[in-house]
């Protein structure tokens, strides 16, 4: 084709495009509708064509992402959704009395609004009356078909509100269960070895690869073990402190990370009913008549808050909350608080509460605390349990002991009821496979039996784990781990002469969700513990 022919075709193309934009009699604006000029029609058509072309181009360029989003939604829509689920009364009644039971049904639905075909969701529930400063936990039964019954005991009169939270969907629970059974790498520990003026650091943990030389810290008689990679020059026994860190990559897919994100954790499920009104009816059941004795069966829920005071549902806890009552109970006694910072709160609370009780400076405050009331002959000791201890701050490991070692070292004798021991562990074991926590519990059990053999009058109390913040890193600190560990503690100590402080029950009832509960909860924990020591 000649250049002249090409020019001619180009001119014809331009003219045809101009004719396409010209208005004709059929394109004249309606005499009724809005009037658009010729230029405006051309502009609108070209703009529309441009938008369509851009949309087509965007679709093809982003097709892989769109396909991925669609695939994720197809799977995600089948997961449990608190927003689409419902709580309703089972067999509603015209009247509820104090002492009656209240049952609600939870109908779990997915993000598409349809009932699920299976259970396994992690749910917590409570009843509460804000004005009365009252609250109690509910007992959840999983029917394994996306339906749940929550059983409440109505402890007080007044208007009672029901609240049910979906802590984790069943799909999120499966992720937690899968990783917990085998993953030792969710928390990294860096040990510092110190010898004189020389310092070296090395990675430590409950399990380490043996491809490098190790410093192993073990007790063959009870199976307790942890290790560090051997430092370059310093000896293994120079390990002094340890710090922890959480690796950013916890081997989760984007979808799994979404399921465990804080915005999908602890969401309240809406009710289909109004608060119920409870009245004090004639012939209503009264509170328990038995005194609290170590070894009693502790049901769940085991009590309730009313006016910010905890009352047991199965024994007379009393209200050992005042300074006078606490001093009367502890006079002439030594109280050992063994474990983590949630029992360290107890010694801090008592030091604030009892005017004569004062901290005594001794040794390393990160390993132990000592408070003494010389006038009333009261001694309170907090002693930190040994590794694993998770903290971004420096934690002293040298000189720390396991709780069985501490129990074996307690001086008792003389036939006097002068020793009370409270044990609270679990929070620092949450990221690890359950075998390590169960091993520690069994070792604690054997040590308690040895202590009783030396001093049958000694009182031992087990404090279960409380819940913690809903915005915690769920792969490391999920309350599902804590709940399962509490079940393990109940199993290990069920037939022993020990008192039980169900901190889980109390913090759920109070809607706390704090690793370090407030003063109201701590003071009631202490009161319940002392009720098992012939103080009430």
Q: What is the pLDDT along the chain (536 residues), one digit of tens a residue?
A: 444 444 443 444 344 444 434 443 333 333 333 433 444 445 577 777 777 777 667 655 655 544 444 444 456 688 999 999 999 999 999 889 999 999 999 999 999 999 999 999 999 999 999 999 999 999 999 999 999 999 999 999 999 999 999 999 999 999 999 988 878 888 999 999 999 999 999 999 999 988 899 999 988 788 899 999 999 999 999 999 999 988 776 778 888 999 999 899 999 999 999 999 999 987 766 788 899 999 999 999 999 999 999 999 999 887 889 999 999 999 999 999 999 999 999 999 999 999 999 999 877 788 899 999 999 999 999 999 999 999 888 888 888 889 999 999 998 876 556 999 999 999 999 999 999 999 999 999 999 999 999 999 999 999 999 999 999 999 999 999 999 999 999 999 999 999 999 999 999 999 999 999 999 999 999 999 999 998 75
- For the chain, counts of helices (H) and of strands (E): 13, 25
DSSP letter string, 416-463: ---EEEEEE--GGGTTS-HHHHHHHHHHHHHHHHHHHHH-TT-EEEEE
- Contact criterion met (CB below 8 Å) for 334 and 419: yes
Helix (H) or strand (E) holding 110: strand 101-110
Distance, in Å, from the CA atom of 426 to the CA atom of 432, rounded to the nearest integer, reads 11
CA atoms within 13 A on the CB side of 366: 15
Of 465, 474, 426, give the one whose Cα is nearest residue 174: 474
């Amino acid at each position: 084709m000649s250049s002249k022919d090409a020019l001619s075709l180009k001119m014809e193309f331009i003219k045809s495009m101009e004719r396409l934009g010209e208005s004709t009699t059929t394109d004249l604006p309606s005499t009724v509708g809005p009037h658009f000029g010729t230029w405006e029609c051309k502009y609108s058509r070209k703009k529309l064509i441009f938008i369509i072309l851009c949309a087509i181009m965007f679709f093809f360029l982003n097709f892989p992402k769109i396909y991925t989003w669609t695939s994720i939604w197809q799977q995600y829509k089948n997961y449990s959704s608190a927003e689409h689920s419902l709580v309703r009364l089972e067999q509603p009644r015209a009247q509820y009395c104090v002492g009656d039971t209240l049952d609600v049904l939870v109908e779990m639905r997915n993000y598409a609004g349809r009932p699920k075909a299976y259970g396994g969701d992690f749910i917590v529930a409570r009843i509460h009356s804000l004005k009365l400063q009252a609250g109690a936990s509910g007992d959840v039964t999983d029917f394994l078909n996306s339906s749940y019954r929550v059983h409440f005991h109505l402890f007080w009169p007044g208007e009672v509100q029901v609240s049910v939270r979906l802590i984790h969907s069943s799909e999120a629970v499966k992720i937690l269960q899968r990783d917990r059974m085998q993953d030792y790498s969710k928390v990294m520990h860096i040990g510092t070895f110190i010898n004189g003026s020389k310092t070296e650091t090395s990675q430590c943990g409950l399990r380490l690869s043996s491809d490098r030389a190790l410093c192993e810290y073990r007790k063959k008689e009870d199976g307790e073990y942890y290790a560090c990679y051997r430092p370059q020059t310093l000896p293994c026994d120079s390990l002094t402190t340890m710090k922890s860190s959480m690796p950013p990559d916890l081997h989760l897919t984007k979808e799994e990370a979404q399921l465990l994100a804080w915005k999908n954790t602890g969401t309240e499920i809406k009710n289909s009913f109004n608060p119920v009104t409870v009245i004090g009816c004639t012939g209503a059941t009264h509170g328990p008549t038995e005194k609290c004795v170590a070894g009693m069966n502790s049901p769940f829920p085991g009590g309730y808050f009313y006016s910010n005071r905890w009352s047991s549902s199965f024994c007379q806890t009393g209200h050992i909350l005042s300074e006078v009552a606490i001093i009367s109970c502890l006079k002439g006694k030594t109280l050992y608080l063994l474990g983590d910072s949630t029992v360290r709160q107890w010694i801090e609370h008592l030091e604030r509460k009892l005017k004569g009780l004062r901290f005594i400076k001794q040794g390393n405050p990160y390993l132990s605390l000592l408070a003494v009331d010389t006038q009333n002959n009261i001694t309170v000791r907090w002693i930190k349990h040994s590794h694993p201890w998770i903290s971004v701050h420096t934690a002293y490991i040298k000189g720390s002991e396991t709780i069985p070692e501490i129990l074996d070292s307690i001086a008792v004798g003389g036939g006097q009821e002068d020793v009370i021991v409270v044990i609270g562990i679990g929070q620092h074991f949450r990221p690890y496979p359950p075998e390590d926590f169960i091993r520690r519990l069994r070792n604690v059990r054997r040590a308690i039996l040895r202590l009783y053999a030396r001093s049958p009058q000694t009182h031992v109390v087990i404090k279960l784990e409380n819940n913690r913040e809903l915005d915690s890193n769920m792969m490391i600190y999920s309350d599902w781990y804590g709940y399962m560990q509490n079940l393990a503690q109940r199993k290990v100590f069920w037939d022993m002469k020990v008192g039980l402080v169900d901190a889980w029950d109390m913090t759920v009832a109070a809607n706390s969700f704090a690793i370090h509960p407030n003063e109201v909860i701590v003071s009631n924990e202490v009161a319940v513990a002392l009720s098992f020591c012939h103080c009430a």
